[in-house]
Amino acid sequence: MTLDEIIDLATYPIADADFRATCKATFDETGALSMPGFVREGAIATMRAEGHANEDKVYAKTEQHTVYLSAPDPAYGPNHPRNRMVTSSKGCITDDLIPTESALRILYESDVFQGFLCHVLGEAALYPYADPLSSINLHFARTGQELGWHFDNSSFAITLMVQAPEKGGQFEYVENVRDADAGDMNFDAVGDILDGKTPVKELIAEAGTLVFFRGRNSMHRVAPNEGDRTRMLAVLAYNSEPGVSLSEEARMTFYGRTG
């Protein structure tokens, strides 16, 4: 499958300098960039079929975690925003289960696509994970499953909606809640979000939508899937340096295996 058969290049001319500059300006200003219909329906249909074919290999897990994705801090009480627990429940299939000829892998490895990502993200180059599991992940959220409120550890995330849920499962976020680099965790704002006091932005993506998001300082979640259709989301993970692997401990936590 060629890149033109995967991406709607007429709508999204990702090799064009002016188009790249426009996307970068939007992303720099808002920290979020949504591109509906970026991947053509025919390519999305093949990705969806591959996901269903491997559904018996999904590693499913429900866990409690803090918004900061780190262990509770004994300096604070259990009900303090630093230590309050939220629930995440999802399933995942890993990079090694994505076929070599998959449109998803062709997209991930495309030099043109990576060049576009580099320009928008302001990165000199992007590299896959060195371990066999982490570069492309396909996440599954069945009825009632969700991702609880959290901040990302990475500076950016690239996702592609492969199958949208019938109801619920929307991406919700609040921009610029903390300043991780300055050590400002902004517990009061986190508490207000957890208590439902803060208006949130919603991003409802249909199949084929590519999304850029900066989640290191913006708090976000995926609301519970309220329908019968499984939400299927591809996470395209890159690093700014070569040779990076998730630790064996992290791979066991996320995938239930190390390779």
Can you tell me the mean pLDDT for 9-17? 98
State the pLDDT at residue 140: 97
% of residues, the chain, pLDDT over 70: 100
Q: What is the CATH number of the domain that holds 58?
A: 2.60.120.620
The edge-to-edge listing of strands for the beta sheet with 147-150 is 147-150, 219-222, 171-174, 201-203
pTM for the complete prediction?
A: 0.95
Confidence of residue 174 (pLDDT cuts 50, 70, 90): very high
pLDDT value at 249 more than 90: no
- What local confidence, expressed as pLDDT, does residue 230 receive? 97
Q: Which of 232, 233, 231, 210 is nearest to 166 (CA)?
A: 231
- Quick one: average pLDDT of 215-235? 97
Are the beta carbons of 102 and 81 closer than 8 angstroms? Answer: no
- Contact (CB, 8 A) for 253 and 136: no
Please tell me the predicted confidence (pLDDT) of residue 90: 87
Using the Cα atoms of residue 69, residue 121, residue 138 and residue 172 in order, give the sign of their dihedral: positive
pLDDT grade, residue 32 (50/70/90)? very high
Return d(Cα 167, Cα 164) in angstroms, integer.
Answer: 9
pLDDT digits (tens, 9 = 90+) for 88-110: 998 999 999 999 999 999 999 99
How many domains does the structure of the chain reveal?
Answer: 1
Q: Give tens-digit pLDDT for 53-84.
A: 999 999 999 999 999 999 999 999 999 999 99
Long-range contacts, 35-38 (Cβ 8 Å, 24+):
35/209, 35/210, 35/211, 36/205, 36/206, 36/208, 36/209, 37/8, 37/11, 37/206, 37/208, 37/209, 38/7, 38/8, 38/11, 38/12, 38/160, 38/208, 38/209, 38/210
Structural element, H or E, at residue 150: strand 147-150
According to DSSP, the residues that pair with 160 across neighbouring strands are 210, 234
Phi and psi at residue 179, to the nearest 5°: -125, 90
CA distance 225 to 143: 5
pLDDT for the residue 250: 81
Domain residue limits at 118:
3-255
Over residues 130-139, the pLDDT tens digits come to 999 999 999 9
Q: How many Å apart are CA 252 and CA 259, to the nearest integer?
A: 9
